[in-house]
């Protein structure tokens, strides 16, 4: 007879979470670290009671915004290389809907995230309940159906015994390196409290093995033949290198073949930035070194990359006759760009492929060194850009709206340039400190300029580019790395204003994160895109409404340092380089308390494009000739882009 234990669905779920383990290369560790919760009707008396009773190893964190706490869980799993996760649970209705964005973040970046949103009653007897959206065409549709578009696996547990199959499928997905992402288990609030006699075996320790998928010999031989035929190949170091922990294998492959490599946002910091074959960031937010080598490469070897439009410059960057070899655990990703697919774990595939390339040499003759030296000189320039209040001064981004920088300097009495501030902070970071970011102009500046302080010390969310990830994610990273190293969150004022509630959670948990808030009183990245394609500024600058009725008055001088101080953070106001260096130095001495450095930086002082193109929806018909000029430029680039 099967041994059983009578538990509510929620109690069984918590006990199940407590006993899930993952095994990687023979090492077993608990897979679920903790649970972020904002209690409400839908999870407070069901799952909440279960956490009080059943959570022994699991850590429970009080979130402040459902999206924020789920973003923290995403960043945690990313920093842990997908070997450990945190769970996020919410009430029904708006609380649940707030987590949808975080699920998009997780799935687009292939990061495991388990969300447990409360749901309306399965019995439907009290319908419509508070916060229920009624659908006249289907009473089975609830807010939680919105998760389907952004999750790898979705389920609704309408009977307590369904928990078993739902959990098995959820963790099958969460531990699948090829298809991981967000998982949603919707929990009707009445079912959470209903009991069932669960088999003890279901609740016992369960080990999920991360199997390293081996490459087939035929695929390796075809890839080797393509590489041998190439004269100037190039590697792309994607996030898969970091997640498979193939750092050493990637390095050895590059060194023994002499093939240079560019980095994606997810792959950056897998190999030290000083490596002689490291060309830096690739694509739209890439640097001149990687992009100049890429346009002449006759073969691209993508390792663990999804080839986003930013990496490929909307498929414009690479030659039409360039061939592709893709090493990826996902068959879907491996087949992109009509590549020779090597569907395998990078740690397995790279050494075996290398054996088939014995004696191979590229035809590079000084180009790699020259590209790196050119970029090194540009980094020195970017680190030293200074503001001059003269008619001749121009910021780095030269466009029709360059006057914003001088107006900002006048309104806020500020003089710092963005690249200079970024370089100064980077130089003051200690080995092993982690940088995190997500949206706006900073990811471009950081992929180009940032010099990581150690391996896997760069956590950039640029698959979904989620504004608000920066501060919530910093908390998640801090939970992952502990107190031995600092976490620096690089955040624009636009992102800060959208979502910063988990700063309070960091205060509550005594977790020190250093938020470097770059305030240019605008959505600067989008303003560049807007005016750079012939448009006037529209709702992308943070200005008061002027006498002309438009948002054209003074830039708003918001004291973000006081905001953070009111939460319980240590804070600094910065307008000069001297103040910035003093603030960073003092921030290092702070213990068990979040820090915010409010840095006023001039608009239009970020990095430029360095030879890449990004396809956006330019206007074919317009009364503005500048729009039409932008559209002509669009057509010229589109003509030269690869078709698939």
**Greatest alpha-carbon span in the chain:** 87
Domains, in order of start, for the chain: 4-209 (3.40.50.970), 222-315+334-365 (3.40.50.1220), 386-600 (3.40.50.970)
For residues 506-510, average pLDDT: 97
Cα 330 to Cα 327: distance, rounded to the nearest angstrom: 9
In this prediction, residue 640 carries a pLDDT of 86
- Confidence bin at 486 (pLDDT 50/70/90): very high
- Confidence bin at 644 (pLDDT 50/70/90): confident
For residues 580-591, average pLDDT: 97
DSSP for 234-284 reads: EEEE-HHHHHTT-HHHHHHHHHHHT--EEE-TTTTTSS-TT-TTEEEE-ST
Collapsing DSSP to helix, strand or coil, 41 comes out as: coil
In this prediction, residue 62 carries a pLDDT of 97
Cα 138 to Cα 191: distance, rounded to the nearest angstrom: 20
Cα 250 to Cα 244: distance, rounded to the nearest angstrom: 11
Strand segments (E) across 63-181: 85-90, 113-119, 153-156
In this prediction, residue 397 carries a pLDDT of 67
Query: Which residues on neighbouring strands pair with residue 156, listed in sequence order?
Result: 186
Cα 44 to Cα 146: distance, rounded to the nearest angstrom: 22
266-275, 529-538, 550-559: the lowest-pLDDT one: 529-538
Cα 644 to Cα 642: distance, rounded to the nearest angstrom: 6
DSSP assignment letter at 147:
G
Query: Which residues on neighbouring strands pair with residue 174, listed in sequence order?
Result: none
For residues 172-196, average pLDDT: 97
Collapsing DSSP to helix, strand or coil, 360 comes out as: coil
pLDDT digits (tens, 9 = 90+) for 80-116: 999 999 999 999 999 999 999 999 999 999 999 999 9
Strand segments (E) across 92-160: 113-119, 153-156
Residue 189 contacts residue 92 (beta carbons within 8 Å): yes
Report residue 599: phi and psi, to 5°. -105, 115
Rounded (5°) CA angle 481-483-489: 65
In this prediction, residue 401 carries a pLDDT of 62
**Is residue 16 pLDDT above 90, yes or no?**
yes
pLDDT digits (tens, 9 = 90+) for 377-410: 999 999 999 988 887 777 776 555 667 888 888 8
User: What is the residue-averaged pLDDT of the chain?
Assistant: 95
**Is residue 77 pLDDT above 70, yes or no?**
yes
pLDDT digits (tens, 9 = 90+) for 30-75: 999 999 999 999 999 999 999 999 999 999 999 999 999 999 999 9
Cβ burial, residue 162 (10 Å; 0-12/13-18/19+)? middle
CA distances from 132 to 66, 92, 98, 150, 485 (A): 17, 8, 15, 21, 44
In this prediction, residue 399 carries a pLDDT of 56
Residue 189 contacts residue 183 (beta carbons within 8 Å): no
Identify the residue whose tokens are 């159906």: 145
In this prediction, residue 403 carries a pLDDT of 77
Residue 304 contacts residue 241 (beta carbons within 8 Å): yes
Cα 448 to Cα 289: distance, rounded to the nearest angstrom: 10
Residue 184 contacts residue 151 (beta carbons within 8 Å): yes
pLDDT digits (tens, 9 = 90+) for 324-348: 999 999 999 999 999 999 999 999 9
pLDDT digits (tens, 9 = 90+) for 568-579: 999 999 999 999
Cα 600 to Cα 433: distance, rounded to the nearest angstrom: 23
In this prediction, residue 258 carries a pLDDT of 97
Percent of the chain at pLDDT > 70 equals 99
Label residue 280 left, alpha or beta by phi (over 0 means left) and psi (-120 to 50 means alpha): left
Q: What contacts 169, CB < 8 A, 6 or more positions away? A: 153, 155
pLDDT digits (tens, 9 = 90+) for 426-456: 999 999 999 999 999 999 999 999 999 999 9
Cα 47 to Cα 314: distance, rounded to the nearest angstrom: 45
Query: Which residues on neighbouring strands pair with residue 22, listed in sequence order?
Result: 29, 208
| Secondary element (H or E) of residue 491 | strand 487-492
DSSP assignment letter at 556:
P
Helices (H) and strands (E) in the chain, counts: 26, 23
Q: Which two tokens stand for residue 293?
A: 């080598």
For residues 254-283, average pLDDT: 98
In this prediction, residue 393 carries a pLDDT of 78
DSSP for 372-422 reads: HHHHHHHHHHHHT-----STT---SS-STTTHHHHHHHHHHT--B-HHHHH
Query: Which residues on neighbouring strands pair with residue 207, listed in sequence order?
Result: 21
- Confidence bin at 540 (pLDDT 50/70/90): confident
Residue 154 contacts residue 147 (beta carbons within 8 Å): yes
In this prediction, residue 582 carries a pLDDT of 98
In this prediction, residue 226 carries a pLDDT of 98
């Amino acid at each position: 007879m099967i041994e059983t234990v009578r538990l509510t669905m929620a109690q069984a779920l918590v006990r199940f979470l407590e006993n899930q383990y993952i095994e990687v290369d023979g090492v077993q560790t608990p897979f679920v670290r903790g649970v972020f919760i904002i209690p409400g009707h839908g999870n407070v008396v069901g799952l909440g009671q279960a956490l009080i009773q059943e959570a022994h190893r699991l850590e429970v964190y009080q979130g402040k915004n459902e999206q924020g706490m789920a973003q923290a869980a995403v960043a945690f799993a990313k920093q842990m290389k997908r070997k450990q996760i945190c769970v996020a649970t919410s009430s029904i209705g708006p609380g649940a809907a707030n987590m949808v964005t975080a699920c998009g973040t997780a799935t687009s970046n292939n990061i495991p995230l388990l969300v447990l949103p409360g749901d309306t009653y399965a019995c439907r007897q009290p319908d419509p309940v508070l916060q229920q959206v009624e659908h006249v065409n289907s009473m089975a549709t609830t807010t939680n159906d919105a998760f389907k578009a952004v999750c790898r696996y979705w389920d609704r547990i309408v009977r307590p015994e369904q928990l078993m199959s739902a959990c098995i499928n959820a963790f099958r997905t969460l531990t699948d390196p090829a298809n991981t992402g967000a998982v949603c288990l919707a929990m009707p609030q009445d079912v959470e409290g209903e009991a069932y006699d669960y088999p003890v075996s279901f609740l016992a320790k369960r080990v999920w093995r991360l199997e390293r998928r081996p490459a087939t010999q035929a695929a390796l031989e075809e890839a080797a033949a393509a590489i041998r035929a190439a004269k100037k190949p190039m590697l792309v170091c994607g996030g898969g290198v970091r997640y498979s922990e193939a750092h050493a294998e990637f390095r050895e492959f590059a060194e023994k073949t002499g093939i240079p490599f560019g980095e994606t946002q997810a792959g950056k910091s897998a190999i030290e930035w000083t490596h002689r074959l490291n060309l830096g960031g690739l694509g739209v937010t890439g640097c001149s070194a990687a992009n100049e080598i890429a346009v002449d490469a006759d073969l691209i070897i993508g390792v663990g990359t999804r080839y986003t439009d930013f990496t490929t410059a909307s498929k414009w960057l690479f030659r039409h006759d360039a061939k592709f070899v893709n090493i990826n655990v996902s068959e879907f990703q491996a087949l992109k760009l009509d590549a020779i697919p090597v569907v395998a774990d990078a740690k397995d595939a790279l050494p075996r492929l290398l054996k088939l390339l014995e004696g191979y040499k590229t035809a590079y003759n000084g180009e790699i060194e020259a590209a790196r030296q050119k970029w090194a000189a540009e980094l020195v320039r970017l680190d030293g850009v200074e503001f001059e209040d003269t008619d001749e001064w121009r910021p780095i981004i030269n466009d029709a709206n360059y006057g914003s920088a001088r107006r900002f300097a006048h309104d806020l009495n500020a003089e710092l340039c963005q690249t200079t501030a970024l370089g100064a902070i980077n130089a003051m970071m200690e080995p092993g400190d982690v940088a995190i970011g997500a949206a706006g102009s900073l990811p471009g500046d950081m992929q180009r300029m940032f010099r990581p302080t150690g391996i896997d010390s760069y956590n950039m969310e640029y698959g979904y580019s989620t504004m608000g990830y920066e501060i919530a994610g910093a908390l998640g990273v801090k939970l992952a790395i502990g107190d031995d190293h600092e976490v620096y969150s690089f955040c624009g004022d636009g992102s800060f204003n959208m979502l910063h509630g988990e700063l309070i959670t960091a205060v509550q948990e005594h977790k020190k994160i250093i938020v470097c808030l770059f305030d240019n009183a605008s959505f600067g990245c989008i303003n560049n895109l807007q005016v750079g394609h012939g448009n006037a500024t529209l709702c992308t600058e943070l200005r008061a409404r002027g006498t002309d009725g438009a948002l054209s008055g003074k830039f708003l001088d918001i004291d973000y340092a006081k905001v953070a101080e009111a939460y319980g953070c240590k804070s600094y106001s910065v307008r000069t380089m001297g103040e910035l260096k003093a603030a960073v130095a003092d921030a290092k001495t702070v213990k068990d308390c979040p820090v915010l450095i409010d840095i006023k930086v001039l608009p239009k002082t970020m990095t430029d494009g360095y030879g890449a193109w990004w396809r956006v929806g330019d206007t074919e018909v317009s009364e503005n000739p500048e729009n039409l000029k932008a559209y002509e430029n669009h057509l010229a680039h589109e003509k030269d882009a690869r078709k698939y």
